[in-house]
Amino acid sequence: MELRARDRVPELTGLLTVVALALVFGAVLGVIPRAALPQAPAWFLAAIPHVNAVVSVLAIAVILVGWRAIRRDEVTRHRNAMITVLVLFATFLVLYLYRVTLKGPTEFPGPATVEQFVYFPILGIHILLAIVCIPLLFYVLLLALTRPSSELPGTNHPRVGRVAATLWLVSFALGTVVYLLLYVLF
């Protein structure tokens, strides 16, 4: 199985990306039926944005730890950091998709001028980067899972990983700004 997956990283990346984006767009656009999910208490749904903000800040820190580790040739520490940030990202995504499926996207509560000239551009860039990150993350993850770490420097993993990590950092940071605009400033 490993050999087959090893030879099919681009195809698997495409398949996983399509499935992931279908889930995200299905939740955001209301395609996933609310009745398909168990209903959580209101306090739980209200806590999700705050929990996700903490998860995002932790993810930023862990990405930086992983980046620093690989620059110091600390492969095990890098791998552990990247696995941790993937778990944080999955946690964020599951909570976000659960909440948005049940409640829909959050309306911006601030002034229309701030919404138009600050909130929407930041949100748009955040969403675009998050979408672009998904195939990059699957690609570097699949490369890492299908090869011994000694082979990874000879693959696209380092190059694509740098791009993915950079975009992921910016996306998490902008997501945190979106949170601050929605729940702290307004």
pLDDT by residue (tens digit) across 10-25?
999 999 999 999 999 9
The mean pLDDT of 121-137, rounded to a whole number, is: 96
Question: Per-residue pLDDT tens for 131-162?
Answer: 999 999 999 999 999 999 999 999 999 999 99
How far from 46 is each of 6, 34, 52, 136, CA to CA, in Å?
A: 42, 17, 11, 31
Q: How many CA atoms lie within 13 A of 157 on its CB side?
A: 24
What global pTM score does this model have?
A: 0.91
Place 2 in a pLDDT band, splitting at 50, 70 and 90.
very low
| % pLDDT > 70, the chain | 98
E strand or H helix at 46: helix 42-71
Say how many Å lie between the first and final Cα of the chain, rounded.
51
Domain boundaries, the chain: 2-185
Question: Per-residue pLDDT tens for 44-63?
Answer: 999 999 999 999 999 999 99
Q: According to the model, what pLDDT value does residue 66 have?
A: 97
